Structure 1
Amino acid sequence: MLPGEDFQFLNVLGAVVDITLVAYVVYKLITVIRGTRAVQLVKGITVILAVWFLSSFFGLRTLQYIMSQAVTYGLLAIIIIFQPELRRGLEQLGRGRLFGRSATPEEENTMKTVEAIMKSVKYMAKRRIGALISIEKETGMNDYVETGIPMNATITSELLINTFIPNTPLHDGAVIMRNQEIAAAACYLPLSENPFISKELGTRHRAALGISEVTDCLTIVVSEETGSISATKNGDLHRDLDEDTLFAMLERELMSQEKHTSGLWHWGGKKNG
């Protein structure tokens, strides 16, 4: 290949890479703003740019001047009005998710569940509202679900909070979650018979440890006395969890559960439940 042809090939290759990267960036930005007010913003900007181009092409100077002013001052207005959407995009960029693999609908539902649990737990911990939440995994918990009040409800932070408000019919006992739903509330869990448990731990912590000794579930406890957050898994008690640790634990456990149930759906024709 001649030197001139070599140079031309590199130019073509660079143009292809350039166009591909721009197309990918535009695609990822569309996925970020999808379902937000920013979609209407993009439509409005497209209309303004189209009018600006047409006014310039046909020599409509007054209209062109108005459109140029709209573009000049519109950028500042966009930053102010659409600050939440811009912040969301920057947060995803900071977490490395903007240009990563797009989440599946199942993963998005799982993250909504994690966020609902986090929001409710933080609310109850701040106000010292006792709570006991067990998340079923591979080991079935039907025996314990049957001791409570069936709900089969979509998980929301508001529903979880209302369930544990003191002096309400469902506040005493545990909430058991299954497949991104609240299966039942006011459930009775077995108390741990471990003689080495600290005497300062109450019934909720003993129930959380007890269920973790007979199943593989993850159980979250909010202390009514101190407002501290704990979790149990495989017979281990993790006390005084901060928000980041609890979020990572929930994300890890629920994502692994989602992969497991998705695998059963793919290979066996139905999900575990």
Structure 2
Amino acid sequence: MFPIGEDIQFLTWLGRIVDILLVTYVIYKMIMVIRGTRAVQLVKGITVILAVWFLSSFFGLRTLQWIMSQMVTYGLLAIIIIFQPELRRALEQLGRGRIFGGRTAPEEESSYKTVEAIIKSVNYMAKRRIGALLSIEKETGMNDYVETGIPMNASITSELLINVFIPNTPLHDGAVIIRNNEISAAACYLPLSENPFISKELGTRHRAALGISEVTDSLTIAVSEETGSISVTKNGDLHRDIDEETLRAMLEKDLVIDQKQNGSTLWQWGGKKNG
């Protein structure tokens, strides 16, 4: 038996270790929530401000220190406003019990069904040279593009995706946004790439595919209505004329394997008329 004093000291140290582990785990989960979003760049900016504040205090730079102090004082309100989409997403995931939990079997099965629906619809449209653009959202939010479209809130199926992109239908000229295995909105617009080195033979659809991949971490599928070829963009890179097996491998990596690691279930599809 340990003396009472040693027992209390042991429990105190055990409590501190548990406290540190819990805080570390919470910080890790918060990093996973904002990873790949615009919030990462904002966090870097905040880190620079804090570093400048510390250095100005250390070296006695009073004017600079006062400016940094004002920025920190009013920074909390600014953070709430700037991080509003990320905070809302974190609260939604917390409400679903997904920040501190893993990916469930129904969600993983739904991811495979989503992959199959994409492949089936893309193959159908490619054979018939029906132009389409499918941009798969990963970590970076795309709410700005959702708000430009028409709300649908419909379950995703290959038949519905095909029907949306049929020429001369009301919703085909624009983007279709999919969120949580539902089509959240249609007739949305994606940003066009301003890269001057893009091949002149690429039209609006491929420029939109490159554009969205330059500003987000999405994986985007473009079906050419001129040739029926399938192209994929990711991180600003364009992979042209890919086959079904390559497409399946890329989709499963982004929708099943990567999503399985971080618990995200957000997908987006979009389309442009010309390309």
Fold similarity call, TM over 0.5: yes
Aligned residue number for residue 160 of structure 2: 159
Contact between 2:127 and 2:228, CA under 8 Å: does it hold in 1?
yes
Paired AA for residue 251 in structure 2: L
Q: Bigger relative contact order, structure 1 or 2, given CA contacts below 8 A and separation 6+?
A: 2
- Deviation of 1:181 after TM superposition, in Å, equals 2.2
Aligned residue number for residue 12 of structure 1: none
Paired AA for residue 254 in structure 1: L
CA distance in 2, matches of 1:137, 1:124: 24
Aligned residue number for residue 228 of structure 1: 229
Contact between 1:135 and 1:178, CA under 8 Å: does it hold in 2?
no
Over 3 Å counting, the alpha-carbon distance change for 1:158 and 1:208 in structure 2 is: same
Q: Confirm or deny that 1:238 pairs with 2:243.
A: no
Which secondary structure does the structure 2 equivalent of 1:249 belong to? helix
Q: Confirm or deny that 1:128 pairs with 2:129.
A: yes
- Deviation of 1:187 after TM superposition, in Å, equals 1.2
Q: Which runs of 4+ in 1 moved over 3 A?
A: none
TM-score by length of 2: 0.57
CA distance in 1, matches of 2:107, 2:231: 27
Which secondary structure does the structure 2 equivalent of 1:120 belong to? helix
Paired AA for residue 128 in structure 1: R
- Deviation of 1:148 after TM superposition, in Å, equals 1.2
Q: What do residues 121-171 of structure 1 show as CA deviations (whole Å, max 9, x unaligned)?
A: 000000000001111111000001111112222110000000000000000
Paired AA for residue 123 in structure 1: Y
CA distance in 1, matches of 2:266, 2:206: 27
CA distance in 2, matches of 1:242, 1:118: 11
Q: Confirm or deny that 1:194 pairs with 2:206.
A: no
Paired AA for residue 222 in structure 2: V
- Deviation of 1:176 after TM superposition, in Å, equals 2.2
Note the residue ranges of structure 2 that are not aligned, 5 or more in a row.
1-103, 268-275
- Deviation of 1:180 after TM superposition, in Å, equals 2.2
Which secondary structure does the structure 2 equivalent of 1:171 belong to? coil
Contact between 1:133 and 1:177, CA under 8 Å: does it hold in 2?
no
Which secondary structure does the structure 1 equivalent of 2:226 belong to? coil
Note the residue ranges of structure 1 that are not aligned, 5 or more in a row.
1-102, 265-270
User: How high is the sequence identity, in percent, across the aligned residues?
Assistant: 80
Paired AA for residue 126 in structure 1: K
Aligned residue number for residue 75 of structure 1: none
CA distance in 2, matches of 1:260, 1:180: 18
CA distance in 2, matches of 1:253, 1:213: 17
Q: What do residues 212-247 of structure 1 show as CA deviations (whole Å, max 9, x unaligned)?
A: 000011111100100000111110111101000001
Which secondary structure does the structure 1 equivalent of 2:200 belong to? coil
CA distance in 1, matches of 2:111, 2:246: 17
Please tell me whether Structure 1 or Structure 2 has the larger radius of gyration of its CA atoms: 1
Over 3 Å counting, the alpha-carbon distance change for 1:167 and 1:154 in structure 2 is: same
Which secondary structure does the structure 1 equivalent of 2:177 belong to? strand
Over 3 Å counting, the alpha-carbon distance change for 1:154 and 1:260 in structure 2 is: farther
CA distance in 2, matches of 1:200, 1:178: 32
Aligned residue number for residue 253 of structure 1: 254
Aligned residue number for residue 149 of structure 1: 150
Contact between 1:131 and 1:164, CA under 8 Å: does it hold in 2?
yes
Structure 2 matches for 1:1-273, cutoff 5 A? Answer: 104-262=105-263
CA distance in 2, matches of 1:152, 1:135: 17
Contact between 1:125 and 1:223, CA under 8 Å: does it hold in 2?
yes
Contact between 1:261 and 1:272, CA under 8 Å: does it hold in 2?
no
CA distance in 1, matches of 2:196, 2:149: 27
Aligned residue number for residue 50 of structure 1: none
Question: Over the residues paired in the alignment, what is the CA RMSD in angstroms?
Answer: 1.9
CA distance in 2, matches of 1:184, 1:227: 25
Q: What do residues 37-87 of structure 1 show as CA deviations (whole Å, max 9, x unaligned)?
A: xxxxxxxxxxxxxxxxxxxxxxxxxxxxxxxxxxxxxxxxxxxxxxxxxxx
Contact between 1:148 and 1:184, CA under 8 Å: does it hold in 2?
yes
Contact between 2:222 and 2:232, CA under 8 Å: does it hold in 1?
yes
Which secondary structure does the structure 1 equivalent of 2:198 belong to? coil
- Deviation of 1:179 after TM superposition, in Å, equals 2.5
Q: What do residues 97-119 of structure 1 show as CA deviations (whole Å, max 9, x unaligned)?
A: xxxxxx92222111110000000
Over 3 Å counting, the alpha-carbon distance change for 1:240 and 1:272 in structure 2 is: closer
Q: What do residues 151-202 of structure 1 show as CA deviations (whole Å, max 9, x unaligned)?
A: 2221100000000000000000122222222222211111000011000000
Over 3 Å counting, the alpha-carbon distance change for 1:197 and 1:260 in structure 2 is: same
